[in-house]
Structure formats: structure tokens, C-alpha cells
Amino acid sequence: MTTPISPTAVLITGANRGLGRALATRFLLQPNTTLIAAVRDPEHPTSKALFDLPRGDGTTVIVVKIDSLSDTDAQDAVKTLQTDHGIHKLDIVVANAGHGTVFGDLSLVKPHEVRHLVDVNTIGPLCLFQAVRPLLEAGNRPRFVLIGTPIASIGAMENSPFPMFAYGASKAAAHYLTRKIHCESPGLISFVVDPGFMQTDMGNTGARHFGYEQAFVPVDKSADFVFDQIKKATREQTSGKFVTIDETREFNEW
């Protein structure tokens, strides 16, 4: 008798909008996949609409509540996955949820704005990783992926001179978190991927603030790039790295 292959289990935060939804769409088209869509409000129409997306053979979708501002949502979601859905391993976790529309250089930014973005963009992924780590360690080629940004680069800060200190600082700490996971968890693949200046609601808001009509990269192009990087990632070639869609940048330009 052939032992059935367990589904690939993928958890994506912020899965009902923008890049998160585009990635969810791509994973749902894969066969034998369990897509766990983490959203702030499971009752929102954009969350319920995830159940209507096309799916590959044997693929299912589960929606759970994870608000990046909650210290307990991720732990509660993992308990729900274990007790209600029998999920005891995760193969891919994408820390996609984030916030960035706070503008201003060091002379203008408000301390409370920085604290808020650190809570969302740094503490949120930290709580997520702490909750999912045991399930990732039981997964197949387990990958923890943070959606990052060159605005958070310290070594190449001059290449992204936008006055977005609050966002950049909060994501720089998240980049550090992701590389620290690589160093502390030798059994995991952990890396940051930059999808480019995307034409999402957040990206277009930022673009208009800086005088552009819209952001530069179509969401589908970003999603194809990120999806490909996740699928082919290895411990040897990808883990601990900052992978970027911008071909003019170094592969590991932190």
C-alpha cells in the first residue's frame, strides 16, 4: 500500500490583499496544498472571497485570524490549526503583512509612528515565528520568508533615499530577525525577499506622496518573482540572504 503524501502546508499573513492575495492565488493553483490564509478579519468580504479562488487537485484553503498588532493571535491560530484542522507541520510561512505609509525624515517623524510600525513590521513577524517554529521544524524543506524592502538596507541606504525612517527602521529590524532565524535554526531556510515597489494600495499611496502616478512594479510580476524564489529556495543558496527583484542590486545587499 502506498503511503499518501501529506499536502504542502503554506501559511501567508495578509493573504486577502495585494501581494499576499496574489501569492495565495498561486499556491492555491498547486496540487495537494493546504493554504492557510492569515488575515486581520476573517469575516471581511476580501477574506471570504479567498474560498472562491481556483484550486488545484486536492488543494484546500483555511482562513485564520492573525493581526500583527496582537501578541497572541499567531499562537491562537496555531492551536486552531492543530486542534480543528489536524495540521501539525508547516512547510512555508510567508510574513507578508505589514504597514509602511508613514512619511518623514528624522527631523519630522513622530516617535509614536515609529513605535507603531515596529509593532507591526518587527514584533508581528517575531510573534509569528515564535508561534510557527515547532510546526516549521516538522515541515518538509521548511521556509520562513519575510517580505522586505531595500528601504531597510543599511549598507545600501544611499540607493533608496526616500524619507521613510519609520518604515525603514522597522523593516531593518525585521531583516535582522530573519537572518537571525537563519543563524539560530540550521534546519530552516530563512530569507528576505524584496518584491519591488509594487502597485498595491500601500505602494501606490507612497508613489503619489512622492509625485509619481503609481508604483513601478505590477503586483503579478512581483508575485511571480516571490513565488519562484520561495519554490526554489535552499539552505545553501538562499537562506540568510536578501533576495531582490531589482537586477541592478547585489543578491545579498543588506
Q: For 227-249, how does the pLDDT look when each residue is reduced to its tens digit (9 = 90+)?
A: 999 999 999 999 999 999 986 66
DSSP E strands, 130-187: 143-147
> Is 221 in the active site?
no
Alpha carbon 180 to chain centroid, angstroms: 16
Domain annotation covers residue 117: yes
Q: Which of 48, 110, 171, 176 is catalytic?
A: 171
- Number of folded domains that form the chain: 1
Q: Is residue 131 part of a domain?
A: yes
Whole-prediction pTM: 0.94
Positions in the chain short of pLDDT 70? 1-4, 247-254
**Is 212 labeled as catalytic in the residue annotation?**
no
- Kindly give, in sequence order, each residue whose CB lies less than 8 Å from that of residue 168, ignoring residues fewer than 6 positions away: 149, 151, 152, 157, 160
C-alpha cell belonging to residue 224: 511571480
The CATH number covering residue 215 comes to 3.40.50.720
pLDDT in tens, 109-124: 999 999 999 999 999 9
The answer to whether residue 204 sits within a structural domain is yes
Catalytic residue chosen out of the listed positions 48, 89, 167, 231:
167
In a domain, 187, yes or no: yes
In a domain, 63, yes or no: yes
Tell me if 249 is assigned to some domain: no
**pLDDT the model gives residue 158:** 86
In a domain, 252, yes or no: no
The boundaries of the domain holding residue 128 are: 8-244
User: What pLDDT was estimated at residue 186?
Assistant: 97
Q: Which string of b and e fits 187-220 if b means at least 16 CB within 10 Å?
A: ebbbbbbbbbbbbbebbbebbeeeeeeebebebe
> Looking at the domain assignment, is residue 1 inside a domain?
no
> pLDDT value at position 202?
82
Three-state secondary structure along 17-73? CHHHHHHHHHHHCCCCEEEEEEECCCCCHHHHHHHHCCCCCCCEEEEEECCCCCCCH
For the record, the C-alpha cell of 151 comes out as: 528601504
Which residues fall within 8 angstroms of residue 252, CB to CB, at 6 or more apart? 241, 242
User: Measuring CA to CA, how many Å separate 213 from each of 164, 197, 199, 201, 204?
Assistant: 19, 13, 10, 12, 8
User: Which residues neighbour 219 within 8 Å (Cβ) at sequence distance 6 or greater?
Assistant: 18, 19, 22, 198, 199, 200
